[in-house]
């Protein structure tokens, strides 16, 4: 019989605001900070996985000490004398509790949107129905294909996390990371090589960085500043937030975009840029300047006359402020204009935005949702019936229509040598729709939309993550502190991210083309994917729902051959991974290659179940590989063993959690460690995160000073050695 306990490490923090040398020291120490976290974990890790989690937890906790500069070494040494890391059992931090429960029907549900049980009816089979047999004639070499996209990365799909919810989604602080989030990021990293995450959104505009907050919080909402229609609060962030992001990077190779406040152009608050660059270094991909500036006047942030020319002028002002700030060494990673659609990108290009600011721009970006649910959430705009609009998400025309307004801009971005990003998107703004955003149909829609953006020469897209008041989240932490049974809920679009990551792989050199399959049929689109110069994968969709199997189709893949005046090119066999669910309306029972992330409150971020990769025997004489795609479903066809192996890790990296007691979603300690830890006193004593406080934790034991001192000496010797060398 086993039990586990969660680790909470109290880091010593000192400050000396009057000492100017600290400004220089923090940058040197920060560069080593994230690397040290991981190296310390790996150095001490025994072979079993649960103990590895302990050492990762210790490394993260102890690395928080590194937030102090070399001038703060006395503070760190004082930590050695009191090094008794409290062992606590955590219950889940509240995102907020549902206000009611469904009783009998979804119509009576009054709880949190993220768990709304509404299930819509799948659209009927179109009349006439698409052909269930068609051929895809493909070229084996990219040199023989016209219209391929620019090279795309496996990390094409990333996540846009609203700044106000990062404590619930990413971690409470730098010493307490949400383990399911680490697992979810590790899943993507193993398929794509890295992960891109944007932290920002509406709440970035009123964010302020402060050294500390009351009660040791890392973030606090200022709900007295609700000055816009969507009731977006102001935020106070501490320096520790950036170390939290760095620790995530050290463990899962997440790379970050950060939003810079843009509400006060007479007194820019640039601390997010300053500390972000110092702590994250090369893992800071860019800084967004202005979030949907075309909505500023409607939200009361600017005068009604605010125009693209005004934004152009303000952008120039912040460029000058950054140029004058010695604490922002990187001057060419700004992102704009991030318009949502009220202005077109061309409205901004026509101001001379790109040539004027080219030396400061790292990427061009827009943000866009296909529609909105703002009337239901805020009484803005027109009401929308989810059942009526559901079919619009279930055709290839949706993705094509969404990218069409940006084709000129993607071409323009290439001519200017800039990436073009969809910086925030999802099924619908203002939280999405019940029954659509949380359905399998959304998974198929997002995957086709992502591939269509890649084909149209976007360089990346971020799926937005909000709180539990939205329907579209890729992942949502539990809403209560009932963490002994409530785990995370994984949304359908997270499966889209995994599938697209496998479609593009780790080479960062994948090119894609829309095949216009089945006579351009909108319900059965297909893409071919080339890596370098070679055809490696084919992606096949079926947007229809038909449990009878009558609308399962067979795609016959032919490569080169007599039609092209070349030898037959199909392999002896192909491998197929399927994204499946019983219906486009399904909210559960979704699988990617036979594996699932469970239903509501069922996931710790790790894929469960046996991997199922189907093998298709090809007919090389006939030059055909026949692949079936059920209705509904998505099939990713691997045309070589190497392309499959590239995205199928043999030993996936995971961060185990436990459902025992209330330690779910926390880094855990093997009980054998506690049994030999030189101390078991003060059991039952309530700690600072006891019940009634936001963190909801009770102390159940103490790691002895012998273990903590040994670990501290090792880290201390490493720190002192590095500082001595630097001096």
* Residue for token pair 């398929």: 191
The answer to whether the pTM exceeds 0.85 is no
Spatial separation of the C-alpha atoms in residues 175 and 37, rounded to whole Å = 11
Query: What does the pLDDT look like over 703-712, one tens digit per residue?
Result: 333 333 333 3
Residue 655: what pLDDT? Answer: 85
**Highest mean pLDDT: which of 224-238, 256-270, 388-402?**
388-402
Strand, coil or helix: 272: helix
Q: Is the pLDDT of residue 656 over 70?
A: no
The mean pLDDT of 204-233, rounded to a whole number, is 80
Residue 678: what pLDDT? Answer: 38
CA nearest neighbour of 461 among 476, 445, 477: 445
Strands 489-490 and 591-592: unpaired
Strand partners, 219: 237
DSSP 371-400: -B-HHHHHS-S----HHHHGGGGSSHHHHH
Residue 108: what pLDDT? Answer: 81
Element (H, E) at 184: helix 179-192
Query: What does the pLDDT look like over 421-473, one tens digit per residue?
Result: 999 999 999 999 999 999 999 999 999 999 999 999 999 999 999 999 999 99
Element (H, E) at 460: strand 460-465
Strand partners, 656: none
Q: What does the chain come to in residues? A: 727
Farthest-apart Cα atoms in the chain, separation: 81
DSSP 39-101: HHHHHH--SSHHHHHHHHHHHHHHHGGGGS-GGGHHHHHHHHHT--PEEEEEPPPPS---S--
Cβ neighbour number for residue 340 with a 10 Å cutoff = 17
Of the pLDDT bands very low, low, confident and very high (cuts 50, 70, 90), residue 719 is very low
Residue 90: what pLDDT? Answer: 28
| Residue 535: alpha-carbon gap to chain centroid | 29
Cβ neighbour number for residue 599 with a 10 Å cutoff = 13
Spatial separation of the C-alpha atoms in residues 718 and 463, rounded to whole Å = 40
> Is the distance from CB of 180 to CB of 657 less than 8 angstroms?
yes
Cβ neighbour number for residue 626 with a 10 Å cutoff = 16
- Ramachandran angles phi, psi of 359, nearest 5°: -70, -15
Of the pLDDT bands very low, low, confident and very high (cuts 50, 70, 90), residue 654 is confident
Q: Is the pLDDT of residue 585 over 70?
A: yes
Angle at 67 (CA atoms; ends 62, 71), nearest 5 degrees: 115
The mean pLDDT of 188-204, rounded to a whole number, is 96
* Residue for token pair 């995205």: 647
Label residue 498 left, alpha or beta by phi (over 0 means left) and psi (-120 to 50 means alpha). alpha
Q: Is the pLDDT of residue 319 over 90?
A: yes
Give the count of alpha carbons within 13 A of 396, CB side only. 20
Helices vs strands, H then E, count in the chain:
20, 29
Domains of the chain, first to last: 5-91+662-726 (no CATH), 123-513 (3.20.20.80)
Residue with more model confidence, 105 or 141? 141
- Ramachandran angles phi, psi of 421, nearest 5°: -115, 145
Angle at 175 (CA atoms; ends 174, 181), nearest 5 degrees: 75
Cβ neighbour number for residue 54 with a 10 Å cutoff = 22
The mean pLDDT of 600-608, rounded to a whole number, is 95
**Helix 492-504 to helix 179-192 angle, to the nearest 10 degrees?**
30
Which two structure tokens, joined as six digits, stand for 448? 């086709």
Lowest mean pLDDT among 348-357, 561-570, 592-601, 676-685: 676-685
Q: Which residues of 648-681 are buried (b: 16+ CB within 10 A; e: fewer)?
A: beeeebbbbbbeebbbbbbbbbbeebbeebebee
Spatial separation of the C-alpha atoms in residues 132 and 555, rounded to whole Å = 8
Q: Is the pLDDT of residue 682 over 50?
A: no
Of the pLDDT bands very low, low, confident and very high (cuts 50, 70, 90), residue 635 is very high
Query: CA-CA distances (angstroms) from residue 687 to 212, 620, 663, 711?
Result: 20, 69, 15, 23
Spatial separation of the C-alpha atoms in residues 257 and 438, rounded to whole Å = 26
Residue 484: what pLDDT? Answer: 56
Of the pLDDT bands very low, low, confident and very high (cuts 50, 70, 90), residue 106 is low
Average pLDDT over the chain, rounded to an integer = 81
Cβ neighbour number for residue 620 with a 10 Å cutoff = 15
The mean pLDDT of 305-317, rounded to a whole number, is 98
Which letter does DSSP use for residue 146 in this model?
Answer: S
Of the pLDDT bands very low, low, confident and very high (cuts 50, 70, 90), residue 652 is confident
Query: What does the pLDDT look like over 359-402, one tens digit per residue?
Result: 999 999 999 999 999 999 889 999 999 999 999 999 999 999 99
Lowest mean pLDDT among 533-537, 631-635, 654-658, 662-666: 662-666
């Amino acid at each position: 019989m086993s039990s586990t306990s969660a680790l909470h490490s109290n880091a010593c923090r000192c400050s000396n605001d009057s000492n100017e040398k600290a400004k220089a020291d923090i940058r040197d120490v920060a560069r080593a900070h994230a690397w040290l976290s991981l190296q310390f974990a790996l150095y001490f890790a025994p072979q079993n996985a649960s103990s590895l989690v302990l050492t990762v937890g210790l490394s993260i906790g102890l690395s928080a000490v590194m937030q102090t500069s070399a001038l703060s070494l006395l503070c760190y040494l004082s930590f050695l004398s009191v090094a008794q890391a409290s062992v606590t059992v955590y219950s889940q931090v509240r995102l907020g509790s549902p206000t009611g429960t469904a009783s009998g029907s979804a119509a009576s549900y009054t709880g949190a949107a993220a768990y709304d049980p509404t299930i819509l009816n799948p659209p009927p089979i179109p009349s006439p129905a698409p052909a269930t047999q068609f051929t895809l004639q493909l070229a084996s070499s990219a040199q023989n294909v016209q219209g391929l996209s620019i090279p795309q990365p496996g990390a094409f799909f990333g996540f846009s996390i609203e700044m106000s919810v990062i404590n619930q989604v990413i971690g409470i602080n730098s010493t307490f990371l949400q383990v399911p989030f680490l697992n979810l990021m590790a899943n993507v990293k193993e398929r794509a090589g890295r992960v891109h995450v944007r932290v920002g959104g509406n709440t970035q505009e009123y964010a302020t960085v402060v050294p500390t907050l009351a009660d040791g919080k890392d973030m606090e909402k200022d709900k007295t500043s609700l000055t816009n229609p969507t009731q977006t609060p102001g935020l106070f962030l501490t320096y520790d937030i950036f170390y939290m992001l760095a620790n995530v990077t050290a463990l899962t190779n997440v790379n970050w975009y950060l939003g810079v406040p843009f509400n006060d152009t007479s007194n820019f608050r640039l601390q997010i840029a300053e500390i972000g660059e110092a702590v994250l270094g090369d893992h800071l991909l860019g800084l967004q300047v202005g979030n949907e500036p075309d909505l500023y006047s409607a939200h009361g942030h600017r005068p009604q006359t605010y125009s693209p020319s005004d934004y152009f002028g303000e952008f120039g002002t912040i460029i000058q402020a950054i140029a004058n700030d010695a604490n922002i060494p990187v001057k060419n990673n700004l992102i704009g204009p991030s318009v949502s659609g009220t202005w077109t990108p061309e409205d901004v290009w026509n101001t001379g935005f790109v040539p004027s600011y080219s030396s400061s721009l790292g990427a061009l970006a827009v943000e866009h949702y296909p529609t909105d649910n703002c009337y239901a959430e805020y009484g803005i705009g027109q009401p929308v019936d989810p059942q009526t609009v559901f079919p619009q998400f279930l055709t290839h025309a949706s993705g094509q229509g969404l990218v069409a307004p940006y084709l000129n801009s993607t071409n323009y971005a290439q001519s200017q040598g800039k990436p073009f990003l969809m910086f925030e998107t999802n099924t619908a703004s203002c939280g999405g729709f019940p029954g659509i955003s949380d359905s399998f149909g959304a998974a198929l829609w997002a995957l086709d939309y992502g591939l269509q953006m890649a084909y149209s020469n976007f360089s990346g897209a971020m799926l937005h993550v909000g709180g539990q008041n939205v329907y579209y989240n890729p992942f949502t932490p539990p809403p209560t502190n009932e963490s002994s049974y409530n785990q995370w809920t994984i949304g359908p679009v997270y499966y889209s991210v995994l599938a697209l990551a496998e479609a593009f792989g780790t080479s960062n050199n994948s090119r894609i083309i829309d095949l216009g399959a089945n006579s351009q049929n909108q319900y059965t689109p297909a893409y071919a994917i080339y890596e370098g110069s070679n055809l490696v994968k084919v992606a096949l969709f079926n947007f229809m729902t038909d449990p009878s199997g009558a609308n399962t189709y067979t795609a016959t893949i032919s490569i080169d051959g007599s039609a092209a005046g070349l030898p037959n090119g199909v392999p002896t066999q192909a491998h197929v991974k399927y994204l499946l669910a019983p219906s486009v309306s399904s909210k559960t029972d979704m699988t990617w290659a036979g594996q699932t992330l469970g239903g509501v409150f069922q996931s710790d971020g790790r894929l469960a179940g046996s991997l199922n990769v189907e093998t298709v025997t090809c007919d090389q004489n006939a030059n055909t590989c026949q692949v079936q795609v059920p209705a509904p479903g998505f099939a990713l066809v691997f045309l070589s063993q190497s392309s499959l192996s590239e995205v199928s890790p043999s030993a996936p990296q995971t961060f185990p959690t436990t459902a025992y007691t209330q330690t779910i979603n926390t880094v855990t300690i093997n009980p054998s460690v506690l049994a030999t830890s030189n101390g078991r006193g003060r059991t039952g004593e309530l700690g600072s995160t006891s019940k009634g406080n936001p963190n909801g934790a009770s102390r159940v034991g103490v790691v002895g000073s012998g273990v903590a001192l040994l670990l501290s000496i090792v880290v201390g010797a490493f720190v002192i050695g590095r500082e001595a060398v630097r001096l």
